[in-house]
Chains A and B, each alone.
Chain A
């Protein structure tokens, strides 16, 4: 089969990895996809994904989330993408490429982006069952499968960057993990001896076993050919069930070799400064398969991106050249920050080192300084916060002495050099080569007002993400410099944010809305009635702090009654026709047959519509307001409590059956879910809180889509936070691993109270986590490492909540005064609202909708506009 005759010039891209995708984007940006036919041959069974973040798969990122390829992009630009169909031969004379499927495409320009392959040392037994490499998502899936079913111990050959990632993955899978590195230290390419020592200590503290200065001589296998161990160069044997080779990569240049293109002595397709192969002007090579004009093969993504841009520019006849690239890199390996930049090993003549080392804290920092005082490069291990700033200063003389830049904060001499000190030419995002000037321009010339907008506009921060913190500081500084004053006030009544109001209420023990409004409201709002935004917000703050600030724990007492949102006011959920729905709490989703029968009987007797919710509870719809107390009297009598489905509060803690019944379960997830639900029930928060507990890594309870989710491990519990389903789904981030029951509860106590304290109104944990400066790292610092020294207070606030909890519905039905509000009409308490009517559907009821007076006039009004119109 041969493709269409050439009507427009054809570009064929062989390889759809990160660099290949960047190349396609560069073509599109230059309009070349409109003037050229673009064909992509991709070997892997999925389009380009973020290989740099590969290990994130083991902390919950799905292959789909790792994808870098927007199907719309491919479609919109008419790119012909063939997945799982690698190029097999190139006929340079005929200018055709033939893929495995037999597809033959004629090209005018051929771009090879075939990447690299993992190097497997030629040791006996290297092909045994249980030997893997660490390169693709498919490799990860195979490792995961084998580790789960057949291994308790794993060994990684190679202590470099990828080796440590692989080791982290094995440890995360619950294996006893060894790292075997031939060089005398870990990460020999990036760090020096001192950095290696700091790294070694930290990694050993995590329970990994490191063998440096040790070679692998043979892989031992049993009679069935499955790995049993390794023979090492020191004569010892290491028992292991699986081996992951991660001893470096080699350029994949086989296709180039077999079509006669010149390759380097140690591999790599030889190209010139335009990334054109030295052999054939119609063929280019980019990324890890290319031997650049400076004689190097670049294994990092940023130089690959630059090469992709160079080729696109060359095709567009723009002048561009790739003469070499920065090898700076910042990584988080096994939770340890490691960064190196510029001339990290001090190879420049006459350079000097400035070193700060604290082996106990696992911190090592080295700066390489040139004769003229200019910063040439450096290595940071254990604390790489300064990376973004330091890298940008590389090549220039920093405005303060280098010693001050490496000393830890708070040690007197230390100086926190902000990004405002950087020159405009400083490269902030090295993945996409975005300078500070470009970022400033995004704010001043393109009117971007937030980090997400700047990211979209400049691509900065969308690669490895290591510059996002600096990016945030720059955007804020630039906005402020432009005099953009954003009123961060909660509403027209308060100039403070929710967080500030929380602090005021807590510090001054203010437990009345009027008091707060009259003392701290905006000038014109004092003495007034507030509004529908601040009243429920303050009501929530008062409820969260009730035992501590001396407010009633019953949300409908006194002034609090007037502040609550409509649903809280009736302790039920208002539905579209004015009727209510009722959700009794079913902790952990566990319920006895007797209780199920009671729910059934109540629903039958009151004619309610019943539906199972997504949170493992039962929702009863169609109750009139005056029926609520009657229904709850029966439910409370049977032992049910309010499920707070009406409140910005803890909803459910979903669970799977766990170890008790399931053959895969490793912990009792139901018991933990019940414990957590009972602990946090009734906790008022900035928005609703959902949780789940899964009994094993199969994750049947979907804990990673919850505000706080718990997944059982062989050693305890992993805690995930900030997940969300709904319209903007977000996978939760791993906060801490292998926790005991007590550790888990303590961390959740702190996390929730910190969220309640600092989140904005109606801000779910997922949004909060993305918004607050420092993100997940900051939250981990605060709630795990107690960096603010507030953990004790957070815990005591939660303890006060737990001790003060009482069921709202039991409190209501036992008090005639409280019951008086549950009438449709104040002047006719026994008359039901005639507007609330029902008609049958599928053997149950549904609302008989009242005729809308204005419904006909605006049939097309989208719901979100309607809702948004009330926002100010």
Chain B
């Protein structure tokens, strides 16, 4: 048994309050090791919203709304991720539009964006 904190003990947490609020509210989703680098998972929030969570090769975590605005299906967590001009993105598995994982902007249609969430490992 080691005493040093292991990454496997870490949890993926999602910030639920608005960013300028005084009291931070973090919602624990799952063990960090359930996130395979380059792949996403979906999480269900207490209010019924769905979040797509991703982890990239460097260990950074991202969260965006799971619903694909082009089809209405809750599938963005199942898309393929990548880097485009240094920015991480996920491509919808349905019609392949790409969404910036940091800003939520659709890279193929600037008028469309999805909600983003602050994610941490803690």
Interface residues of A (CB under 8 A from B): 492-493, 514, 524-525, 527-532, 535-536, 561-563, 565-567, 569-570, 574, 576-578, 820, 824-828, 831, 833-836, 849-855, 863, 866-867, 869-870
Contacts and interface: CB of A to CB of B under 8 A. Distances in A.
18 contacts: A514-B57, A529-B38, A529-B88, A561-B39, A563-B38, A566-B80, A570-B78, A577-B71, A578-B73, A825-B50, A826-B30, A826-B43, A831-B44, A849-B72, A850-B72, A853-B69, A854-B70, A867-B96
A870 B82 contact: no
A529 B83 contact: yes
Contacts of B29: 826-827
A835 B79 contact: no
B112 A569 contact: no
Contacts of B75: 566, 574, 578
Interface residues of B, number: 43
Contacts of B91: 532, 870
Nearest to B80: A532
A534 B41 CA distance: 21
Given A529-B56, A826-B53, A855-B72, 15 more contacts: A532-B79, A532-B96, A532-B98, A566-B75, A566-B80, A570-B78, A576-B71, A576-B94, A825-B41, A825-B44, A826-B30, A826-B41, A853-B72, A869-B109, A870-B95
B16 interface: no
B43 A825 contact: yes
Given A531-B83, A532-B91, A866-B95, A825 B56 contact: no
Contacts of B80: 531-532, 535-536, 565-566
A296 B107 CA distance: 67
Residue among A562, A827, A833, A854 with the highest chain B CB neighbour number at 10 A: A827
Contacts of A835: 50, 67, 72-74
Nearest to A866: B95
Contacts of A566: 75, 78-80, 93
Interface in B93-122: 93-98, 108-109, 112
A561 to B, nearest CB: 6
Interface SS of chain A = loop
A826 B79 contact: no
Interface string B19-40: 0000000000110001011110
Contacts of B61: none
Contacts of B71: 576-577, 850, 852
B43 A827 contact: yes
A530 B97 CA distance: 16
B83 A525 contact: yes
A622 to B, nearest CB: 13
Contacts of A828: 44
Contacts of B44: 824-825, 827-828, 831
Contacts of A570: 78
A851 B73 CA distance: 9
A850 B83 contact: no
Contacts of B64: none
Q: Which 6 A-B pairs have the closest CB atoms?
A: A531-B82, A850-B72, A562-B38, A566-B93, A578-B73, A870-B96
Interface of B: 29-30, 34, 36-39, 41-44, 48, 50, 53, 56-57, 67, 69-75, 78-84, 86, 88, 91, 93-98, 108-109, 112
B81 to A, nearest CB: 6
Contact of B93 (A525, A574, A866): A574
Nearest to A851: B72
B72 A869 contact: no
Contacts of B50: 825, 833, 835
Given A535-B38, A535-B80, A827 B108 contact: no
A852 B74 CA distance: 11
B88 to A, nearest CB: 7
A460 B93 CA distance: 42
A731 B41 CA distance: 43
Contact of A834 (B38, B48, B70): B48
A435 to B, nearest CB: 44
Given A531-B84, A574-B78, A824 B42 contact: yes
Nearest to B108: A869
A828 B93 CA distance: 22
A514 B38 CA distance: 11
B56 to A, nearest CB: 5
A395 B88 CA distance: 63
B42 to A, nearest CB: 5
A536 B38 CA distance: 12
B116 to A, nearest CB: 16
A693 to B, nearest CB: 34
Contacts of B95: 863, 866-867, 870
A835 B30 CA distance: 22
A530 B79 CA distance: 13
A519 to B, nearest CB: 15
Contacts of A576: 71, 73, 94
A823 to B, nearest CB: 8
B55 to A, nearest CB: 10
Nearest to A570: B78
Contacts of A834: 48
Contacts of A565: 80, 93
Nearest to A539: B80
Interface centre among A527, A528, A828 (most CB of B within 10 A): A528
Contacts of B34: 820, 826
B42 A826 contact: yes
A502 B103 CA distance: 35
A853 B81 CA distance: 23
Contact of B98 (A524, A855, A870): A870
Contacts of B78: 566, 569-570, 574
Contacts of B83: 525, 528-531
B70 A866 contact: yes
A761 B92 CA distance: 19
A578 B29 CA distance: 22
Nearest to B92: A870
Contacts of B70: 852, 854, 866
A831 B42 CA distance: 12
A838 B41 CA distance: 23
B94 A529 contact: no
Contacts of A535: 38, 80, 82
A853 to B, nearest CB: 5
Nearest to B44: A825
B39 A562 contact: yes
Given A532-B91, A867-B95, A867-B96, A827 B82 contact: no
A867 B109 CA distance: 12
A562 B37 contact: yes
Contacts of A563: 38
A852 B67 CA distance: 10
The residue in B43, B56, B70, B72 that gathers the most chain A C-beta atoms within 10 A of its C-beta is B72
Nearest to A857: B111
A563 B37 CA distance: 10
A529 B73 contact: no
Contacts of A825: 41-44, 50
Choose among A561, A567, A850 the residue with the greatest number of B CB atoms under 10 Å from its CB.
A850
A569 B98 CA distance: 18
Nearest to B114: A853
Given A826-B29, A827-B43, A827-B44, A850 B79 contact: no
Interface centre among B53, B79, B83, B97 (most CB of A within 10 A): B83
Nearest to B41: A826
A852 B68 CA distance: 9
Contacts of B30: 826-827
A529 B74 contact: no
Contacts of A827: 29-30, 43-44
Nearest to B30: A826
A527 B79 CA distance: 21
